[in-house]
Amino acid sequence: MQDKGTVQEKNKIIAGVDIGCSKIVLVIGEIVKDRGINIRFASDYPSRGIRFNGVYDVIVAADAIRSAISKAEKSANVSIEYLHCSVVDNSLQAINSFGIVFPEDEEVSSYDIEAAETIAKKVKLPGERELLAVLPQYYRLDGVSLLNEPIGAKGFRLEMYAHLLIGSAIARERTVQVLERTGLAITGINGKHLAASFATTTKAERKDGIIVIDIGEYVTGVALYKNSHILCSAVIQYGGDRITKDISKLLEITDAEAKKIKERHGCALGDLIDHDALIDDVRGISRGETKKVSQRYLAQIIEARLGEILILAYKETKSNNEPRDFAAGVVITGATAMLKGAAELVQERFGVSARVGIPQGVVGGEGLIADSLYATAVGLLLECEKNLLSTAGVDGEKGNKFIGKGIGVIKNWFFS
């Protein structure tokens, strides 16, 4: 029986919100003590006020997100308290850096860690660019590599190696302006491909080495992990929309029709489709016109453009390590990853095992998030939980946003 005066702590309701040009993907979770996150709801909603290069109308974009949140809350019968969101910026870049300090009294303190990070962040950037996040990779103490923070260790020379995420200052500010209008507490914002990586890979895979390719609507993110830390990441200016445009042009149909048949009948390998397989009643450009389309030809169009995207991703990988050095192979995420034959095409082009990245690390999501489309949103949800746990004591009232601390609140990723 509960003692008088004892207040049972209410489980926090959190959400990961993947903001795109055409849709907002939203996943709601409940933080359950000793169980992690229990998925309560997942869906996608129309996005407005956003173009390829970022938010163009803050008010319209905010209204679309508020509408999505309201509908999701009603469907799940919950009230969201905290959000973690993707930054609306397709121009993200990343570089590796390092900082060196010499600990006082030859013992590493938290001050030394912060000082090394401050030095690592001192990189010269163009005026319109800014540092969005610092992801520690590893430390070296007197020449010996360490995976965890070496606080309390004895040594003369501490080196901190870090992966720096860089983006548009304007894009970040506009994303923040949109999110502030939700009236909810925002635990942080981050790049889509990094969030997707967090949701679709395991600690063991990141230790053995894994390549993550997140094929978004307009861009493709690539992230490489080895020895439990991120090696590098990059954003390629090609995405699933290029495939849709190719289908539209070569089949002489509208973009909307091209997207529809890509999602319903698309395949990434032409050899998997029979020569005589046809798609009936494809709407042409002229009103009322319909025609039959070869399903194999459709697959060949998709294979050609997706193959080009994979060539660019392969180059990013090979500039750092040979693909075969990543024992866990390749994980592909995003809506394009769900195309039949996509994983097989990746395996063929990279020469290593490949799989579609289905979100993991949560419970209760059976049938709700069994789709790579939700990878980024689930990754953001996991970040939200981690940031809440690492900011114990932060006032949790709605409207008390701690996004002002900067996007660097994600700094401890992949160190556990």
Q: What is the pLDDT of residue 411?
A: 38
Are 213 and 349 within one domain? yes
C-alpha 39: how far from chain center: 18
40: in domain? no
Mind listing the pLDDT tens digit for each residue in 119-151? 999 999 988 899 988 888 999 999 998 877 899
Q: Lowest-pLDDT range, 3-17, 70-84, 387-401?
A: 387-401
Q: In this predicted structure, what is the pLDDT of residue 9?
A: 64
* CA-based nearest residue to 388, from 84, 160, 19: 84
Angle value at C-alpha 26, between 24 and 31, nearest 5 degrees: 160
Cβ 341 vs Cβ 272: under 8 Å: yes
392 pLDDT band, cuts 50/70/90, is: low
CATH number (domain holding residue 321): 3.30.420.40
Report, as an integer, the average pLDDT of 193-205: 94
By residue range, what is the domain housing residue 123?
A: 93-167
Assessment of whether the complete model's pTM goes beyond 0.75: yes
The pLDDT of residue 201: 96
Task: Using the predicted structure, report yes or no on whether residue 416 has a pLDDT greater than 60.
Answer: no
Alpha-carbon span 326 to 355, nearest angstrom: 14
Q: Answer with the one of 313, 341, 357 that is the final residue of a domain.
A: 357
Q: Is residue 306 part of a domain?
A: yes
Cβ neighbours of residue 413 closer than 8 Å, sequence gap 6 or more:
135, 194, 198, 230, 383, 386
Spatial separation of the C-alpha atoms in residues 96 and 412, rounded to whole Å: 16
Q: Let me know if residue 159 belongs to a domain.
A: yes
pLDDT in tens, 70-91: 999 999 999 999 999 999 999 9
Any domain includes 1: no
Residue 27 has pLDDT above 50, yes or no: yes
Q: Return d(Cα 72, Cα 10) in angstroms, integer.
A: 20
pLDDT digits 0-9 by tens, 343-368? 999 999 999 999 999 999 898 877 88
Show Cβ contacts of residue 359 under 8 Å, excluding neighbours closer than 6 positions: 199, 200, 365, 369, 372, 374, 375, 378, 379
